[in-house]
């Protein structure tokens, strides 16, 4: 459970840094995401989840 909370905190920190450093770029990215077809969003979400799980699994194997 602590790992999940740490991961959420890290995600918020990274997202906050991106919004602070590149507000116009993030606004454009959110606009593009909002106007993308649902199928594309679903595929990107699945790929992101698989890559994220693979990274966590790989790091856990090293430790």
pLDDT in tens, 8-44: 999 999 999 999 999 999 999 999 999 999 999 999 9
Q: Is the pLDDT of residue 56 over 90?
A: no
pTM confidence score = 0.71
Report the alpha-carbon distance of residue 27 to residue 22 in Å, rounded. 9
Q: Is the pLDDT of residue 3 over 90?
A: no
**Other C-beta atoms lying within 10 Å of the C-beta of residue 26:** 14
Q: 51: pLDDT confidence band, cut at 50, 70 and 90?
A: very high
Q: Is the pLDDT of residue 5 over 90?
A: yes
Report the alpha-carbon distance of residue 56 to residue 41 in Å, rounded. 22
pLDDT of residue 21: 98
């Amino acid at each position: 459970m602590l790992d999940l909370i740490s991961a959420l905190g890290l995600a918020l920190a990274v997202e906050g840094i991106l919004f602070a450093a590149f507000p116009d770029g993030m606004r454009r990215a959110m606009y593009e995401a909002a106007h993308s077809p649902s199928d594309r969003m679903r595929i990107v979400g699945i790929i992101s989840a698989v890559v994220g799980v693979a990274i966590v699994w790989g790091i856990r194997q090293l430790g």
